[in-house]
Amino acid sequence: MAKNDPYAALRFREFNIFLMLRFAMVFAWSMQFVVIEWQVYSITKNALSLGIIGLMEVIPAVSLALFAGHIVDQREKRGLLFKCLFGFSFVSIGLFLLTWPRVTEHLSTSLTLYAIYFLVFCGGIVRAFLGPTIFSLFALIVPKKVYPNAATWSSSVWQMGAVVGPAAGGFTIHLIGVHWSMCVIFGFSLFALICLSQIKKKPIMNPKIGEPVMQSLKEGILFVRNSKAVLGALTLDMIAVLFGGAVALLPIYAQDILKVGPQGFGILRAAPAVGALITMFTSAYFPLYKKAGIKLLAAVFGFGVSIIVFGLSTTFWLSVLALFMSGVTDGISMIIRQTILQLKTPDHMRGRVASVNSMFVGSSNELGAFESGLTAKLMGTVTAVVFGGSMTLITVLATGIISPKFRKLDLRKDLEEHEKSE
């Protein structure tokens, strides 16, 4: 079923509920980030302020990541996810108030800006726990033999939320303003909570409950270091996302370079996710686990080329196309990476491995946003984007030359072993 049925994972009821929950959460989070980006740049008109948004989220996300992984492996996943969703709802309510004219008219611009940064920082704390918890819960909902198919659908839903969320952010800013856009975001966080209530509690798979924190963290780090496939995939994607973070500069392109306003901004922001979404739905019929290493290298190389084209473009629809292609290649990369992690990670270590993943890849989005904002400030927006794309190409070429074993990575054997074990 795992090999021939493109809907294998969808035949499990709780997995469908999980997909709705994930869509609601990604939609809310991505829409919120876009709305806050727009609001902060409107206040400051400073590229560096966009980078600071990413930095405020990435500091707690990275600092707490390993500890969060330890906690996730020690706790029941459904209850922990409830706490994460409540934390996100708190942040959304705070941002709703900070974009309300009746509140902001009593606050200085600087105080409003610092308060937004503080709430983004709180969101980073939530995120440190959210990623490992969802990754671990995923593995307890479907059998291992359908992990590649389930990873494809889960990534597809993630991208669907990333498509609709940013686009909705751009259009709702235009139609109802920043303040009421935050109200929509809060509504989706409540919907995620309702979905989670329909999933049963899951057993704790870790046989070492009560294990000392440092020993637990050391075990997780050593596993990632010694697994060449996992380490190679995470490192490659981290560098690519770190230097290819042109998305953080989209408000500048929309307002100052392409001059397309909030509606054009929404289209630009959604274009990468649309490309990734199409790739992911297609991959349900054409799995990517065969010759995974060379496919991952090719995908990240294509991503770098797309970023360079976007950086140099002064035509709106060419920019949209370049971002769309960056999403197509990024979608391939995401599916392969998630399949590697799910197949290579033991059940009792999923929280810790997911935490390392969040440090490598997830947090590199925000570090990439800070890097893009800083380089744009120092060398100009266009030069910064082209520089980032070029560094991505160099990284791919270096990885391909240095690690021939990674080029030959194929996941078919791992999948067959899981099928035999079940």
What are the pLDDT tens digits along the chain (422 aa)?
Answer: 445 677 888 888 999 999 999 999 989 988 888 888 888 888 887 777 777 887 788 788 778 877 887 788 777 888 889 999 999 999 998 888 888 777 777 778 788 888 889 999 999 899 888 888 888 888 788 887 787 778 778 877 887 787 788 778 878 887 888 888 888 998 999 999 999 999 888 777 665 665 666 676 677 677 777 776 777 777 777 777 677 666 778 888 888 888 887 778 878 877 887 887 788 777 767 766 677 778 888 888 999 899 999 988 888 999 899 999 988 888 888 778 777 777 777 766 777 777 777 666 655 666 666 677 777 778 888 888 888 888 888 888 887 788 777 777 776 665 655 555 55
| C-alpha dihedral (382, 385, 386, 387), degrees to nearest 10 | 120
Report the alpha-carbon distance of residue 51 to residue 121 in Å, rounded. Answer: 13
First to last CA, the chain: 12
Cα distances (angstroms) measured from residue 91 to each of 26, 82, 125, 259, 409:
15, 15, 11, 31, 41
Cα distances (angstroms) measured from residue 144 to each of 151, 186, 417:
11, 34, 10
Which secondary structure element, helix H or strand E, spans residue 160, and what is its range?
A: helix 147-175
Report the alpha-carbon distance of residue 145 to residue 116 in Å, rounded. Answer: 44
Residue type at 147?
Y
| Predicted TM-score of the model (pTM) | 0.69
- Determine contact, residues 372/251, Cβ cutoff 8 Å: no
Residue type at 80?
L
Question: How many CB atoms lie under 10 A from the CB of residue 203?
Answer: 9
